[in-house]
Structure 1
Amino acid sequence: MQFDNSYARLPAHMFARQDPTPVAAPGLIGLNAGLAQDMGLDPDELSLPDWIAVFAGNRVPPGAEPLAQAYAGHQFGNWVPQLGDGRAVLLGEHVGPDGRRWDIQLKGAGRTPFSRMGDGRAWVGPVIREYIVSEAMHALGVPTTRALAAVSTGEPVYREGAMPGAVLTRVASSHLRVGTFQYFAARQDTDALRRLTDMALGRHYPGTTGALGLLEQVTTAQARLVAQWMALGFIHGVMNTDNAHVGGLTIDYGPCAFMDAYHPGRVFSSIDQMGRYAYGNQPQIAVWNVAQLASSLLPLIDPDEAAAVEAATPLVHGFADIYQAEWLTRFRAKLGLVRALDGDQALIESLLDRMARLGVDFTRAFRCLAEGTAAAEFPEPEAFTTWQADWHARLAAEGRSLTDAQATMRRVNPAIIPRNHQIEAAITAAVAGDLVPFHALNAALAAPFDAAPDDPLRAAPAPAEIIRRTFCGT
């Protein structure tokens, strides 16, 4: 690894220097060979004991400068002035042969000054979940943090009982969050805000300048990201500002899920009792998070707060139009539509309303539409066939054949997603020492749009939802 640690060169109060805590007996659960190669690293070398020790936190590689980042955040709308990396250590920033910069972070690496009474550890369940889902999101074309490796620790982690411990090696273009900016804005630390702004622009938006430029870029990135989530039926589950990435990445896969039965009010998080982060609320929460970034950047926008608010407000309000345009583009593609015509939104919403009323599986409905078998997914076939007539008329209005439309649809409507029951089966098997289901699921998810009828992970109909809640790893 070729380290150049720009975050470690920031003023010392912006983070805490912290080595990972060694573990008893590191063992490799999974190594992402494709990602390693993208980073200019040798997967065979990374599979050797010395590197497994690095991924477990038992060895700090030459050039690394481990640290825990400081940040704050709104958690379920409630302000928490200090959060920070409570169970993660940023080893450093690897620069690949192509010049790309990769943050390398160990998640579950032990206590830090930000642990807030926590043990700083992770058990194998959340590590496997984040590995599977983040890599599935990458394969689906969604901006995301990624998983380079997962290792077992040979030590128990105590949650509702004793669980086997694990550490995830997460990589990203940065780990800068809205909450990172909030932390220093709350302390009126304008110098830190300026340094963060320069770093965020350099990492994610080269060519853009200034705090207003950053706000505009983050607004656009977040609007497009959430539109992608919505088009895939993905529910993040904890859209706190400390989980809103300024580069527009999906970050932190705790209580997340891809919907089975479609409903805009669907919630999977065990801690979201009021449905704040339900599927249908995600666009509103995203713009709320962007507004918190705008508030943090006001001192950099203009010394006159009223003038700063006046300059920032139109950018935040622009979220709605960007999101709506992206949402329409993505759902048109899901229906095989190329041109934008009046009435498209009504056609899309008519299908979604029928799916919600009848509890139709989100992913299967669109994939089967591409395969010509969607009628069987609807308990009341007439609810589908009446809509289908409108859809066929809409295709005819732009001169597209059903065959051409369905070929397009198969490229955007996945045949497989990481369903909760499949993830739970992989976790259960891994706890028992069997990693075959984990590797098989990852392999299938690496080609999500391919039709593979002989693959039981793709061919089986979705069961009635048996995993109704997901949990944070802490």
Structure 2
Amino acid sequence: MTTTTASQLDEVPFENPFVDELRGEVSGNKGSRQVPGYCYSRVAPTPVRAPHLLAWSEELGEFLGLARPTPRGAAVAMLAGNILTPSMKPFAARYGGHQFGNWAGQLGDGRAISLGQVAAVDGSRWEIQLKGAGPTPYSRRADGRAVLRSSLREFLCSEAMHYLGVPTTRALSLVETGDKVVRDMFYNGNAAPEPGAIVARVAPTFIRFGNFQIMTANGELDNLRALADYTIRHHYPELGDPSPEVYLRWFAEIARRTAVMVAHWMTVGFVHGVMNTDNMSILGLTIDYGPYGWLEPYDPDWTPNTTDFGSRRYAFGQQPRIAMWNLMALAQALSPLVADPQALRPSLDIYADTLATTQHELLLRKLGLTPLTPAKDLALTEALPPALAETQVDMTIFFRQLSHLAPALLAAASDEDALFSELLAQAAYAVAPGTAAVLLDWLHRYALRLRQEPASPEAVRNGMLRANPKYVMRNYLAQRAIEAAETGDLSLLEALFEVLKTPFDEHPAHDELAAKRPDWARDKPGSATLSCSS
């Protein structure tokens, strides 16, 4: 494996196909304004005072051929946007979108600036983008900066999702800037200075549904076609050369990938928090980790985003429906590319079918089941979510402990009721009288079905442990790591990052990082409630 040292980082060649092949504004003016007619604006990051490396994704760095840099120096200055190399052509992308169901017009990269693409060790190309790198034409009265709390959350969760097997963008580094950023976390008049930070995030591309929406909404059909052709050539080359028929196959594949992503969200208990169309990746990747959260008491109506408390549009249980809504908005944006816009509709069925099939398959894997009795298995998996909700079960702990119970259940243990009672004691937040009956009935049905599996008890248990993580990026853990990091203590950040990279392992020295949400975190800002500023 060829890697660069920190002193060689400035020699890494960047490629710039987005800038080179699409129409962009090159004035360099960072002033907030409308930018009609362009796919992007060339704009450089704004330097920060004293960049300092807080965290680095070793495995991602190795994949990109990059060695961990020293905490301060030229390499970290590059990761903060203070130094640009001759091969970089930094830009902010222009896009629009529906925010909370309403068309918002031009949005764009208001605090993210892409440096270009680098080649990974396998030859694939990956875009490096600095989030929090300063103002762009799309900053909309904001300063283009990010605070440490939101940056740390994005760094940890991006990598945690990757190691859980969820389609996601990645995070390479977390850099504290040495500057203060003023933020009003809950938009309630309590603005305060906070430590600033920048995340270097990585993906094959950060193109979103909204990149296409802004073109169609403004009648820029030449730009729409150019962007669609670019996306297909670079990111969907297996579909063939762009044509009306390929556009249809492309949209079908976007729908399929989006369904797979959402199915993973629903089976690990992830709540995105702000599924606006400008936060939907054209590659079906989880993108823009803002007011996200993880289910602790299982509740389909739960959202961590205070901005969404009124309608709960983006609550956990609404995510499959909202993804469909967003795909319909994308279909409308792509309709000028095809002769008959109705020909895009079958792809929405592909989304629905793929979502149902993938979610069922993932749940079977979590339950240690193989598809022996399809109709009964489907009834079993469909009955589980309402049973979990009635008992306020911690989804992550429930499945993990069920994995350990599997051998005893396969042996038809005589104390099955006692085993299930212990499971609920470990996994439920509150078992009110009479509320556990539905889940206990489901568990007995599951035990009967499990005993039909031909594999050995140990094989079933091990398979379940590989499908059910012990560790996820719980908000209260992130908040504890944030508060410690703000005092200069990185020990919890580092410990949390290590277990999140191997979430299916036991890590007995860190059992406390797998615990249920403590009472103090139930209503604590940053632990239970966040906002789009988080």
Same fold (TM over 0.5): yes
Matched, 1:259 2:291: no
Equivalent residue number for residue 286 of structure 1 = 323
Cα separation, 2, equivalents of 1:188 and 1:202: 23
Going from structure 1 to structure 2, the CA distance change for 1:102 and 1:457 (only over 3 Å counts) comes to farther
Equivalent residue number for residue 471 of structure 1 = 531
* Correspondence list, 1:299-448, <5 A: 299-302=336-339, 308-339=340-371, 341-372=374-405, 374-376=423-425, 377-378=427-428, 379=431, 383-448=438-503
* Correspondence list, 1:168-207, <5 A: 168-207=199-238
What's the offset of the Cα at 1:459? 5.0
Q: 311-320 or 131-140, which moves further after superposition? A: 311-320
Going from structure 1 to structure 2, the CA distance change for 1:47 and 1:16 (only over 3 Å counts) comes to same
Cα separation, 1, equivalents of 2:438 and 2:404: 18
What's the offset of the Cα at 1:327? 0.8
Equivalent residue number for residue 88 of structure 1 = 112
* Correspondence list, 1:244-255, <5 A: 244-255=280-291
Structure 2 stretches lacking a partner, 5+ long: 1-11, 25-37, 184-190, 241-245, 406-421
Equivalent residue number for residue 188 of structure 2 = none
Cα separation, 2, equivalents of 1:8 and 1:236: 30
How much identity, in percent, do the aligned residues show?
Answer: 40
Matched, 1:220 2:244: no
What's the offset of the Cα at 1:322? 1.1
Matched, 1:11 2:36: no
Cα separation, 2, equivalents of 1:121 and 1:399: 56
Equivalent residue number for residue 298 of structure 1 = 335
Equivalent residue number for residue 186 of structure 2 = none
What's the offset of the Cα at 1:401? 4.9
Matched, 1:229 2:265: yes
Going from structure 1 to structure 2, the CA distance change for 1:409 and 1:431 (only over 3 Å counts) comes to same
Equivalent residue number for residue 154 of structure 1 = 178
Question: Partner letter of residue 117 of structure 1?
Answer: R
What SS does the corresponding residue of 1:318 show, helix, strand or coil? Answer: helix
- Do 2:496 and 2:513's aligned partners in 1 also have CA atoms closer than 8 Å? no
Cα separation, 2, equivalents of 1:16 and 1:422: 38
Cα separation, 2, equivalents of 1:204 and 1:414: 31
Cα separation, 2, equivalents of 1:152 and 1:407: 40
- Do 1:453 and 1:459's aligned partners in 2 also have CA atoms closer than 8 Å? no
Matched, 1:22 2:47: yes
What SS does the corresponding residue of 2:308 show, helix, strand or coil? Answer: coil
- Do 2:52 and 2:71's aligned partners in 1 also have CA atoms closer than 8 Å? no
Equivalent residue number for residue 314 of structure 2 = 277
Cα separation, 1, equivalents of 2:100 and 2:317: 16
Cα separation, 2, equivalents of 1:382 and 1:291: 40
Cα separation, 2, equivalents of 1:103 and 1:143: 16
Equivalent residue number for residue 75 of structure 2 = 51
What's the offset of the Cα at 1:396? 2.9
- Do 1:197 and 1:214's aligned partners in 2 also have CA atoms closer than 8 Å? no
CA-atom RMSD, angstroms? Answer: 1.7
- Do 2:52 and 2:72's aligned partners in 1 also have CA atoms closer than 8 Å? no
What SS does the corresponding residue of 1:80 show, helix, strand or coil? Answer: strand
Cα separation, 1, equivalents of 2:458 and 2:511: 26
CA offsets, 1:350-389, max 9 Å, x none? 3322221121111101111001262433436665443222
Number of aligned residue pairs: 468
What SS does the corresponding residue of 2:85 show, helix, strand or coil? Answer: coil
Cα separation, 2, equivalents of 1:441 and 1:456: 11
- Do 2:163 and 2:503's aligned partners in 1 also have CA atoms closer than 8 Å? yes
Cα separation, 1, equivalents of 2:126 and 2:371: 38
- Do 2:63 and 2:121's aligned partners in 1 also have CA atoms closer than 8 Å? no
What's the offset of the Cα at 1:415? 0.4
What's the offset of the Cα at 1:49? 0.5
Equivalent residue number for residue 143 of structure 1 = 167
Question: Partner letter of residue 235 of structure 1?
Answer: V
* Correspondence list, 1:232-243, <5 A: 232-243=268-279
- Do 1:152 and 1:165's aligned partners in 2 also have CA atoms closer than 8 Å? yes
Structure 1 stretches lacking a partner, 5+ long: 303-307
Cα separation, 2, equivalents of 1:245 and 1:289: 11
Cα separation, 2, equivalents of 1:287 and 1:413: 27
CA offsets, 1:416-441, max 9 Å, x none? 10111100000001111111111111
What's the offset of the Cα at 1:471? 2.3
Q: 455-464 or 145-154, which moves further after superposition? A: 455-464
What SS does the corresponding residue of 1:152 show, helix, strand or coil? Answer: strand
Q: 14-23 or 446-455, which moves further after superposition? A: 446-455
What's the offset of the Cα at 1:291? 1.1
Matched, 1:108 2:132: yes
Question: Partner letter of residue 441 of structure 1?
Answer: L
- Do 2:158 and 2:170's aligned partners in 1 also have CA atoms closer than 8 Å? yes
What's the offset of the Cα at 1:400? 4.5
What SS does the corresponding residue of 1:207 show, helix, strand or coil? Answer: helix
- Do 1:112 and 1:120's aligned partners in 2 also have CA atoms closer than 8 Å? yes
- Do 1:122 and 1:166's aligned partners in 2 also have CA atoms closer than 8 Å? yes
Equivalent residue number for residue 32 of structure 1 = 57
